[in-house]
Amino acid sequence: MRVLVVDTALGLCTAGVFEVSGADVRRLGLRSEPMTKGHSERLAGFARDAAAEAGPGFEAIDRIGVTVGPGSFTGLRVGLAFAQGLGAALDRPVVGVSSLDALAASEEGGAMAALIDARRGQVYARFWTKGVADGPAEALSLEAATARIGDLPSGAVLIGSGAPLFAEAFPALTCMPLSGPAPEALARLTAGADPAQSPPRPLYLRAPDAAPPTRLPGQARPARP
């Protein structure tokens, strides 16, 4: 299966084309740069260049995978809009891939915690044992995450932008502060996903920072009692 993967949810802007056959993942074309802003200006060009490098072009793509979060609100919306638009134009299925799942799939490990720095004293987290998730993705306080990480065995892997927050407290664990998931991991998860069970919808683990307006523009303020 030939897949196009798109990732703009965290600290990278990535578009890549891969041939996936079982556990074998072959890179055909890739563009990826560290980026926290400006994804909308670069993503389409990255995808075009990756598809051209892979040859013969977008028409050879069988499936599109896109990270759905958790992550940057603006970044993941850019990736989702692009992937869904391209999927509609090509009449190809688009599947959503969790950023935490993709981080965990970026490294082999018996016990692992995928951690994304969510700011405001929180991390987005998911824990694995021997490749099996121990529960759903969660938004945890640093204190709650510390308690969970303390239960991991020596040599376990902490991966993602949130990993350095715990490196000093857990020197026996391996810290891998990735800015985003490996494109090969995204390709493997994209090819293995069931489109019916993996819709390209944003994954939010906490309420947005912005509050909706209490009145419409031009509407008078309510009278005080």
Three-state SS annotation for the chain: CEEEEEECCCCEEEEEEEEEECCEEEEEEEEEEECCCCHHHHHHHHHHHHHHHHCCCHHHCCEEEEECCCCCHHHHHHHHHHHHHHHHHHCCCEEEECHHHHHHHCCCCCEEEEEEEEECCEEEEEEEECCEECCCCEEEEHHHHHHHHHCCCCCCEEECCCCHHHHCCCCCCEEECCCCCCHHHHHHHHHHCCCCCCCCCCCCCCCCCCCCCCCCCCCCCCCCC
Report yes or no: 56 and 49 within 8 Å, Cβ to Cβ: no
Average pLDDT, the chain: 92
Query: How does strand 63-67 pair with strand 2-7?
Result: parallel
Q: Which CATH superfamily is domain 2-99+180-192 in?
A: ATPase, nucleotide binding domain (3.30.420.40)
What mean pLDDT is predicted for residues 34-41?
92
pLDDT of residue 216: 53
On the question of pLDDT at 225 being above 60, the answer is no
Say yes or no to pLDDT of 211 above 50: no
- Model pTM? 0.89
- In angstroms, the CA 182 to CA 14 distance is 9
Residue 77's pLDDT band (cuts 50, 70, 90):
very high
User: In this predicted structure, what is the pLDDT of residue 130?
Assistant: 86
User: Is residue 36 very low, low, confident or very high in pLDDT (cuts 50, 70, 90)?
Assistant: confident
pLDDT score of 23: 87
Token pair belonging to 68: 């759905």
Q: Which pair of tokens denotes residue 91? A: 């009449």
**pLDDT 10s digits, 3-31:** 999 999 999 999 999 999 988 999 999 99
> What does the pLDDT average to over 184-209?
90
Mean pLDDT of 143-149: 97
Interval 153-166: pLDDT, tens? 999 999 999 999 99
Torsion of CA 37, 68, 156, 12, to 10 degrees: -20
Confidence of residue 219 (pLDDT cuts 50, 70, 90): low
Per-residue pLDDT tens for 92-103?
999 999 999 999
The answer to whether residue 221 scores a pLDDT higher than 70 is no
Q: Was domain 107-176 assigned CATH 3.30.420.40?
A: yes
Instruction: List the domain boundaries for the chain.
Output: 2-99+180-192, 107-176
* Across 17-21, 22-26, 112-116, 213-217, least confident range: 213-217
pLDDT, tens digit, 9 for 90 and up, residues 171-193 = 999 999 999 999 999 999 999 99
